[in-house]
Amino acid sequence: MKPAKFEYFAPQQCEEVLSLLARYGEDARPLAGGQSLVALMNMRIARPAALIDLGRCGELDYLRMEGDVLVSGAMTRQAVAETSLLVHEHCPLLEQALKFVGHHTNRNRGTLGGSLAHADPAAELPGVALALGAELVVDGPHGRRTLAPEDFFVADLTTALEPGELLREIRIAKPEAGSRVAFVESGNRQADFAVAGVAGSFVMGQDGACQSASLVAIGVGSGPVRLAASEAALKGSKLTDAVIDEAAEASNQDIDPANDLHASAHYRRRLTAALVARAVRQACVPQAGAG
């Protein structure tokens, strides 16, 4: 299929982007990497009157440290972040998750901000943003505002972005010393959308007990889902098999998966529990023979 008729703009300055968004309002769609939006337009699920290509807007393409905060412009390509030494050193959970985002060719075009703003409930990056407590900086006609992921992700393919607003920047604080992370997921095919996935960040004490845990599931709700019951089961405990199994089973208290052509709700519940256990063991439990 072919997209419906639209006007195309390729601004080079953020001021021009915001001006176009203000002019067209709900009839405008920013184009970041285009990996999701172009497909939706070709199927005429999305029919914007104005397509605003952000690819030439260099103000949105950067990756740097500001003190102890990793700061990314919305147009940072996923492949750039995946191979960045800054991301490797200061945000290993993002590095792990990016390897699951489509194929490498998709990541060459896909952007961090584009994936977050698209808000697919099976997407990896919204789960990472929630697990790490990222700050999402939004720009619009009334100035900038900063949203937590809990407030930014509203529902399936729906965010708190208002007409005329643009996700401009992602800010992720450097993890605490001794933090451990894991991103795990399972899909029906390699590089396909996740049937379910889990992003985990943990702080371990010197006594071997889990001081804090942040666990988020994807693919099992209308957006990324915090696994509060699993976090509570881990906090303050040494990670024995019994504790890990309890935390894994507790994940079912917080998720509300659906039946679809990819998997049943029951399968997603069992898969999420297995992925929680895998994430905890991968991040926190020393593996036999490791040295």
Could you tell me if residue 2 is inside a domain? no
CA pair distance 28, 287, nearest whole angstrom: 51
Identify the domain containing residue 276 by its residue range.
179-284
**Cβ–Cβ under 8 Å, residues 110 and 118:** no
pTM of the shown model? 0.94
Could you tell me if residue 236 is inside a domain? yes
Q: Does residue 149 sit in the same domain as residue 197?
A: no
Q: Does residue 218 sit in the same domain as residue 268?
A: yes
Angle at 196 between CA 99 and CA 86, to 5 degrees: 30
Q: Does residue 45 sit in the same domain as residue 86?
A: no
CA pair distance 6, 47, nearest whole angstrom: 8
Would you state the structure tokens that stand for residue 253, as one six-digit string? 């208290």
Q: Does residue 48 sit in the same domain as residue 105?
A: no
Q: Does residue 18 sit in the same domain as residue 103?
A: no
Would you state the structure tokens that stand for residue 278, as one six-digit string? 């895998």
pLDDT tens, residue order, the chain (291 aa):
789 899 999 999 999 999 999 999 999 999 999 888 888 999 998 999 999 999 999 999 999 999 999 999 999 999 999 999 999 999 999 999 999 998 889 999 999 999 999 999 999 999 999 999 999 999 999 999 999 999 999 999 999 999 999 999 999 999 988 899 999 999 988 777 899 999 999 999 989 899 999 999 999 999 999 999 999 999 999 999 999 999 999 999 999 999 998 899 999 999 999 999 999 999 998 764 444
4: amino acid identity, one letter: A
Could you tell me if residue 291 is inside a domain? no
Cα atoms in the Cβ-side hemisphere of radius 13 Å centred on 175: 26
Q: Does residue 94 sit in the same domain as residue 122?
A: yes
Could you tell me if residue 255 is inside a domain? yes
Residue with tokens 């006594």: 207
**Cβ–Cβ under 8 Å, residues 224 and 260:** no
Each residue of 113-126: pLDDT tens digit? 999 999 999 999 99
Angle at 90 between CA 216 and CA 272, to 5 degrees: 15
Q: Does residue 169 sit in the same domain as residue 66?
A: yes
Each residue of 169-223: pLDDT tens digit? 999 999 988 899 999 999 988 777 899 999 999 999 989 899 999 999 999 999 9
| CATH classification at residue 29 | 3.30.43.10
Could you tell me if residue 1 is inside a domain? no
Could you tell me if residue 247 is inside a domain? yes
* Sign of torsion over alpha carbons 212, 280, 135, 229: negative
| CATH classification at residue 138 | 3.30.465.10
Number of domains composing the chain: 3
